[in-house]
Amino acid sequence: MGKPQPPLNALRAFEAAGRHLSFTKAAAELNVTPAAISHQVKSLEELLGVPLFRRLTRALRLTEAGQVALPTLGQGFDKLAQAVDQIRSHCESGVLTISVSPSFGGMWLLPRLERFRSMHPDIEIRINGTDRLVDLTRDDVDVAVRYGPGGYEGVRVDRLFGQRNTPVCSPALLEGEHPLRKPEDLRHHTLLHIDWIEAEASWRMWLLAAGLRDIDPARGPRFSMESMAVQSAVDGHGVALVGELLVADHIAAGRLVRPFDQSLSTPLTFAFYLLSAKDRADIPKIAAFRDWLMEEVRAVNGE
């Protein structure tokens, strides 16, 4: 282990006093009393075991050790100030870093993001597409959108919307040799599976709710990301069970259709959430994104 370092306040007191060659002027700069500066310097000298000043009747002079240490210490405080300025500049800059799952980002957020950019052209957007956990107090991320059961601690949490999972497919599957008209027709079509976080939203549960027990709920390919299953459905390769709001744009454009009315709601706590660090949640760029996103959610929900 390295030697214990002197307190930062004591080093700051010495640096200011050495630069001014005056305890009084150093005290004025650091907004403390001259006695406090003198005490900090004396404590530092005792800790280091070497005098840093020669205290004359009407003057203060640096010892040889003090003269050697002062320039390097001053440079260190300058670099520390630069680092703090960089942190502040990042927090206050116009770059907004958004951590979002690839599926939610690609299917829901990105098609709408141009509206936010047109409203806030001074805010640069950086998208970090990932499902991994992020630390909003340490990582280089301003906000995160995550799907889960809630209960996030130590951050500001804004609920966006829950999932109502419904079968969707290409309009082409409504025609052909085995047109998809009623749930029983699924026995002739491929089921596209997503590795759901919650088992309650699986094809097995949907088929049970629809009263269909003679269709194997496990057959068909599985996808780790919802967007891949959706693309497979758009291409006419099968029927996907997905969140209705996530594919609202595909349905509106006619790329996907809902062949049945039956849907399956996930547990109430499972939803998409917007997360931000509590101490930065009201920074203008974060507040602007949150306000815009909540308005988009209200529009999708028809509110």
Query: What is the number of alpha carbons within 13 Å of residue 27 lying toward its C-beta?
Result: 13
166-195: b (≥16 Cβ within 10 Å) or e? bbbbbeebeeeeeebeebebbeebbbbbbe
Is the distance from CB of 272 to CB of 146 less than 8 angstroms?
yes
From the list 227, 225, 241, the residue with the least C-alpha distance to 191 is 241
Per-residue pLDDT of the chain (303 residues; tens, 9 = 90+): 456 788 899 999 999 999 999 999 999 999 999 999 999 999 999 989 999 999 988 889 999 999 999 999 999 888 887 776 666 555 556 789 999 999 899 999 999 999 999 999 999 999 999 888 888 877 788 999 998 888 888 899 999 998 888 999 999 999 988 999 999 999 999 999 988 655 556 899 899 988 999 999 989 999 988 899 999 999 999 999 998 888 989 999 999 999 998 888 766 678 899 999 988 888 999 999 999 999 999 988 776
The two most distant CA atoms of the chain are separated, in Å, by 106
Query: Model pTM?
Result: 0.66
